[in-house]
Amino acid sequence: MMNQPSRPDGVLLGIILGGLISVVGLSQWIDSHKPPTNAAVDEEQLYLNGATLRRVSLGFNGLAADWCWIRSLQYVGGKLISAHQGIGLDNLSSLNLKLLAPLLDAATTLDPEFMEPYEYAAIILPEVNVADAIRIINKGIAANPSAWGLYQHLGYIYWQQKNFSAAADAYGRGATIPGAPPWMQAMKAKMLGEGGSPGTAREIYVHMYQEAGDEQVKEMARRHLMRLDSAAEREGLRKILAAYQSRTGRCPAAWKDLEPVFRTLHLRIDASGAPFDPAGSPYVLNSTKCEGDLDPKSEVPPN
């Protein structure tokens, strides 16, 4: 005879089934409240309200928040696929992401302690609506006063807008929270003294890469770091090429002419003497401008 589940197991099973039914019901409710299928008006009229979703989620707010979060990822991913072009997460202004703010707003209303939507709001949403991004992060700060990472997100938004004083204030407030790393206070000073410098940008993306919970955000930070490192390398190559040109009266015919210099500087070079960029592709010698260019096939994003 098959053993019957114990009462605690039965209660747990009931809770799980109830949660699944709740999420399915929530999805069906949202689908049933969509306007008639019309691509021109669908995004205009569909609005996800966190308070309404909280009422219809039957108490399973965490599952409903996960659903909104997954929908936001699918929404952005679908737009990227439809665009048929290489667009980064921080350059989505052309995709008309009108539903992103409502989706992230709903997820964080349903579960105010769910951190991933706040990260997405800080990285992606400013390209769509800066005010919404700041509002959602401030909502998160109010709900999670001990989460110093939200101040990092807020500082990043203000830094992107070149509002360095507001960015410094955000990093400074976050630095006072117990458990915040020392670099938060250092970032406050950086914002006030050299907010627009490449060094500050690099430090921001290093910390973003280290702290990011989302792999797409980590990849975006990695690409920014490659771009910044490549810009510094190409500036160094310009100086080396200018010195050669000043000494010889001409631009080098090939990278091989500079191989001794590159070896002295311990630069990585290929068999032709060409130095590698941060992604591992050799720089192209532009004899007309006498400078090193990125290979069009390189993974490094152009400036």
How distant, in Å, are the alpha carbons of 133, 165, 290 from that of 258? Answer: 48, 44, 13
pLDDT at 58: 52
Are both 188 and 266 inside the same structural domain?
Answer: no
Q: For 120-179, what is the HEC assignment? A: HHHHCHHHCCHHHHHHHHHHHHHHCCCCHHHHHHHHHHHHHCCCHHHHHHHHHHHHCCCC
Cα–Cα distance for residue pair 137/49, rounded to 1 Å: 17
Do residues 192 and 228 share a domain? no
pLDDT at 15: 43
Is 34's pLDDT higher than 50?
A: no
100-110 and 115-123 are packed helices; what angle lies between their axes, rounded to 10 degrees? 150
181, 213, 245: which is the final residue of a domain? 213
Q: Of 183, 213, 243, which residue is a domain's last?
A: 213
Residue 31 has pLDDT above 70, yes or no: no
Task: For residue 158, give both structure tokens.
Answer: 């203000």
Q: Are residues 199 and 99 in the same domain?
A: yes
**Is 17 part of a structural domain of the chain?**
no
pLDDT at 177 over 90: yes
Domain match, 228 and 145 both: no
CB-CB neighbours of 189 under 10 Å: 12
Tokens of 216: 């797409």
Does residue 135 form part of some domain? yes
Within a domain: residue 202? yes
Q: Which residue has the higher pLDDT, 16 or 63?
A: 63
The pLDDT value given to residue 184:
96
User: Are both 197 and 243 inside the same structural domain?
Assistant: no
pLDDT of residue 42: 47
Q: Do 113 and 243 belong together in one domain?
A: no
Task: Tell which of 213, 240, 267 closes a domain.
Answer: 213
Burial of 302 from C-beta contacts in 10 A (0-12 / 13-18 / 19+): exposed
Asked if residue 238 and residue 166 are part of one domain, the reply reads no
Lowest mean pLDDT among 32-46, 201-215, 233-247: 32-46
Dihedral over alpha carbons 254, 256, 259, 260 (to 10 degrees): -110
Bridge partners (DSSP) listed for residue 275: 269
Q: Tell me what the mean pLDDT of segment 12-23 comes to.
A: 44
For residues 118 and 248, membership in a common domain is answered with: no
Please state, rounded to an integer, the average pLDDT across all residues of the chain: 83
- End-to-end, the C-alpha distance of the chain in Å comes to 71
Residue 34: inside a domain = no
**Higher local confidence (pLDDT), 5 or 126:** 126
Q: Verify that 200 and 232 share a domain, yes or no.
A: no
Q: Which domain holds residue 117?
A: 43-213
Q: What is the CATH number of the domain that holds 191?
A: 1.25.40.10
Report whether pLDDT(179) > 80. yes
Q: Is residue 127 part of a domain?
A: yes
The pLDDT value given to residue 38 = 45
* C-alpha to C-alpha distance for 162 and 155, rounded to whole angstroms: 10
Whether 8 is in a domain gets the answer no
Does residue 193 sit in the same domain as residue 238?
A: no
Q: Domain check: are 88 and 155 in the same one?
A: yes
Are 151 and 262 in a shared domain?
A: no
The answer on pLDDT for 119 being more than 90 is yes
- Count: domains in the chain: 2
Please report whether residue 257 resides in a domain: yes
